[in-house]
Amino acid sequence: MHQSIGQLVTSRAGRDQGRPYLVVGVLDDRFVLVADGDLRPADRPKRKNVRHLVFHHAWAEEIRQRLEAGQRPSNAELRRALSGLVAQYFGEKDSADQKPEVQGG
């Protein structure tokens, strides 16, 4: 199985710019199939050029295991895994890392 299956990606070009997806298939060296379970359901993944994606260092292991077993994950599973990864990867930083708000004029 290809290493990018189940990986969190963000679109960097096109109408869906900035939208997170999970890689659900690899067509060749240039194209992958991505889905989010919402606008792009598991039964209709979007074909994207890898140059138009940002690959993040986060994988949905349960989705990866289902795809390796030859099963298609449900849209609810995709949405749940994607929201968990997005919250974990792009979540709030520690309050100690943030600058305090400036008060007054």
Mean pLDDT over all residues of the chain? Answer: 88
CA distances from 84 to 8, 69, 81, 89 (A): 11, 22, 5, 8
Residues 38-54: tens digit of each pLDDT: 999 999 999 999 999 99
Q: What is the pLDDT of residue 49?
A: 95
* pLDDT range class, residue 1, cuts 50, 70, 90: low
Residue reference for tokens 């900035």: 18
Residue 101 has pLDDT above 60, yes or no: no
Q: What is the pLDDT of residue 3?
A: 87
Q: pTM value?
A: 0.82
Class of domain 7-89: mainly beta
Residue 103 has pLDDT above 90, yes or no: no
